Chain A
Amino acid sequence: MTRRLLTGNSAAAWGARLAQVDYVPAFPITPQTEIIEDLSLWIDRGEMDARMVTLESEHSMITAAGSAASSGVRVFTATSSQGLLYGMEMVYTVAGWRAPFVMINVSRGLSSPITLESDHNDIMAARDSGFLQIHCATCQEITDSVLMSYRLAEHKEIRLPAIVNQDGFYLSFTREPVSLPDADRAAAFVGEFDPENLQFKSGAPLSQAMAVLGGGPYSYFRYQAHLAVERALSVYDEIADEFADTFGRRYDMIDSYMMDDAEYVLVMMGSFATKARDAVDSLRQAGWKVGLARIRLFRPLPQQKIRQLLSGRRAVAVIDQNISMGMGGILHSEIAMALYGINDAPGLLASYIGGLGGRDIRQQEFFEMISELKQASDTGDRLQPRLLYTKNELTEIRNLQAIAQAEHVEIKQAERKKK
């Protein structure tokens, strides 16, 4: 199998192409736009048999995606950050329609202030929508996850839309070697989309609508969607096994690295996990028993597997590239929830928040986290949640504040002059 250098965005577009999607509703946003540029080029050249429509907003785009999926065609779309939020009403709505399709989210921090770079607050906003969520760490994983996600989303027992998440810049614009699956084998793996009773057709006198319901019936449908998301846990392994058999690459719900004898564990999501792998290697060389658990399947959350993996460990650090204002790291709280009440829960579950707006997490910081875990475990101290921030970073902001202060004075003086 030949390998080629692809950006995360190209890898995503290849996933859609190999899944032989029929329809691509699109709206541009940095850092996602390259995905639809690639697809439109291929469609234009006749290399891909699909219809692309550019909509006037992400709200319309996600509506179009859900509607088209409800008519029984295979749909792919992509967005990021503010775009995902702009379409959020329809993210929840189309999941309620039980319309299966795959959407890429290229993670980018949210306003305000504005950033173009990556963190996970955008994708966390879709956490409770009913979309399945897979988080990728490499460009290879993006192509592969798009293929696997069609299988999950279109599975008869699930029939829900899925989001495949990749980090902006760190993956979206970064080229890495990718082995593209053979087109025929990819098509055979994904299979035909059987829409069953989905039959929204413009040519037929039928409209798709949702009734206004009271609490009882309303709850039924909401609970059913929840049960369907949970059902993806049992279906996932089957699909992952088949993928591994076909293409030789295995993707577990949780990507475990050096976990067998690990006393200290880093838990995280996304592309920074490859950096953490290097940190684990280096810490191992220095004699530390460290492991890494990267949560790949975030919705449904594999709680049973989290318990199996983390029970009995001396200490765990959860690294969140998101922040829930007034609470802290979202993944940290979910891991804590999964571990609550079990007998041999880790002695310490520390929270580190960092990597917001593309801010790097450096090797030294991973090392220091493990060092803190050990020290706190030895002394029995609790570790306060840490917002990763350095003295130099504060100096940088102080310089900006000095400019702001000077401006403030100048503006006040100008106002006084006018009077």
Chain B
Amino acid sequence: MFRIRFHGRGGQGIKTASRILGTAFFMAGYEVQDAPRYGAERRGAPLFAYVRADKSPVNERGIISQPDLVVVADDTLVGMPAAGVMQGVDQHTVLLINSQEKAETWSQRLNTPATIIILTATETVGEDAEASDDAREAAIDRAELPYIGSSCAAAAAALTNVISRDVFVDALTEELKPLGENIVKKNMDIALAAFAAMSQHVGIVSESSLPSAKEYIKPEWIKLPFEEAKISAPAIHAGVTSVKVRTGLWRTMRPVIDYERCSGCWWICSTYCPDGAINVTDEGLPDIDYDHCKGCLICVAQCPPQAIESIAEHVAKHREMSAASTTGGVHDT
């Protein structure tokens, strides 16, 4: 059975990626199960989806604990324990990461025996002087919204080597058809570039078997001890917990205040912020707490002098890094 897990953020098309791949397996003659896993979160929150495919009916259910392939659409999730990207990853697993960094960098950083493949063309197109502008552009597009989901599905399909390009084309068309022809076409071009970009790794992902009753690791069952209500009641002490959970990690768009344009009214953006993530400084100026701003952009819509701009998070991060280097700040490449 193939067991494939996709990790990304709400809004990156991760559920769609799992559906495209699921449909592709199904069209290739496999029994299939695909499902997204999410909670009460919203756009930008970490989520994952998974696909199981086998020649016989799939009875296994739930979260894939021993993946053959893990696809990461957003590399900022890799280091976030709550996202569970590395769960069950071992030497059999292939880790496909959408990243501008190199596979060796990730291998060292994660200290994992898994095979790491980079989805963006940093290594293939990015450093290839002969690459056409179109290929370069496709490589960049594929790393970004809204096409990253389709790209991930295509790359995953190629890595399994049991889904032909034609079948993948049919599957993507089937899944995205309701969104209209233009969207299908744009996704298709970019996804097929991702499919082609995996050409050196085709078939690197292999199936694994079911756990066997002949030889298994005993579950470490325990007898749950009784504990008093002051320990065992599920109360949340609101304030502190909210501060500890860095919901700013969910953000895909970042509101940025232009203080030259800000009229200093201070109360409109800070009042409308549903997360209380805009503080007011002693000088009476609003200050966005990026550890907790989820990027809903309500402040952008409400600010009367339109002094708050919204910028894609990766662009904002890039600007920060450039600013740090020009001012002599240290940053880790």
Contact = CB atoms under 8 A, between A and B. Distances in A.
Interface in B181-218: 210-214, 216-218
A272 interface: yes
Given A5-B32, A116-B39, A360-B63, A410 B219 contact: no
In this complex, the member of B22, B62, B211 whose beta carbon has the largest number of chain A beta carbons within 10 angstroms is B62
A283 interface: yes
B224 A394 contact: yes
Contact of B33 (A175, A370, A388): A175
B241 A407 contact: yes
B221 A367 contact: no
Contact of A404 (B37, B40, B63, B237): B237
Contacts of A411: 237, 239-240
B222 A389 contact: yes
Contacts of A404: 235, 237
Interface stretch (A61-69, A180-188, A189-197, A274-282): A274-282
In this complex, the member of A174, A394, A403 whose beta carbon has the largest number of chain B beta carbons within 10 angstroms is A174
B60 interface: yes
A174 B222 contact: no
Given A169-B35, A368-B221, A389-B221, A403 B62 contact: no
Contacts of B266: none
Given A389-B222, A390-B221, A176 B32 contact: yes
A374 to B, nearest CB: 12
A113 interface: yes
B35 A364 contact: no
A298 interface: no
B294 interface: no
Interface in A153-168: none
Contacts of A406: 240
A278 to B, nearest CB: 5
Nearest to A411: B237
A391 B220 contact: yes
B214 A362 contact: no
Interface string A105-129: 0000000110010000000000000
Given A360-B62, A386-B221, A113 B213 contact: no
A116 B40 contact: yes
Contact of B213 (A112, A272, A285, A403): A285
Nearest to B233: A112
B220 A5 contact: no
Given A169-B35, A177-B26, A177-B31, A363 B216 contact: yes
Interface size class of B (residues with CB under 8 A): 35 or more
B36 interface: yes
A365 interface: yes
Nearest to A277: B59
B213 A288 contact: yes
B210 A367 contact: no
Interface string A22-55: 0000000000000000000000000000000000
A286 interface: yes
A174 B210 contact: no
B34 A5 contact: yes
B231 A365 contact: no
A113 B220 contact: no
B265 interface: no
Contacts of A274: 59-61
B101 to A, nearest CB: 30
B213 A5 contact: no
Contact of A285 (B63, B212, B231, B239): B212
Contacts of A278: 59-60, 210
B244 interface: yes
Interface string A320-347: 0000000000000000000000000000
B23 A5 contact: yes
A5 B22 contact: yes
A401 interface: yes
Given A175-B34, A176-B32, A282-B212, A364 B61 contact: no
Contact of B224 (A170, A285, A389): A389
A227 interface: no
Nearest to A394: B222
Given A175-B32, A277-B59, A408 B219 contact: no
B237 A408 contact: yes
A177 B62 CA distance: 16
A409 to B, nearest CB: 10
Nearest to A282: B213
A173 interface: yes
A391 B224 CA distance: 9
B58 interface: yes
Contact of A175 (B22, B63, B224): B22
B65 interface: yes
B234 interface: yes
A367 B37 contact: no
Nearest to B237: A407
A390 B210 contact: no
B142 interface: no
A387 interface: yes
B19 interface: yes
Nearest to A117: B39
Interface in A351-390: 358, 360, 362-365, 367-368, 370, 386-390
14 contacts: A5-B34, A174-B35, A175-B35, A271-B61, A282-B211, A285-B213, A362-B219, A363-B216, A388-B221, A390-B220, A391-B221, A407-B237, A407-B239, A411-B237
Which 4 residue pairs across A and B have the least CB separation, nearest first?
A: A407-B240, A174-B35, A113-B234, A274-B59
Given A365-B219, A401-B231, 12 more contacts: A174-B33, A175-B35, A176-B32, A282-B211, A285-B213, A362-B211, A363-B213, A364-B216, A389-B224, A390-B222, A411-B237, A411-B240
Interface of A: 5, 7, 112-113, 116, 169-170, 173-177, 271-272, 274-275, 277-279, 282-283, 285-286, 288, 358, 360, 362-365, 367-368, 370, 386-392, 394, 401, 403-404, 406-408, 410-411
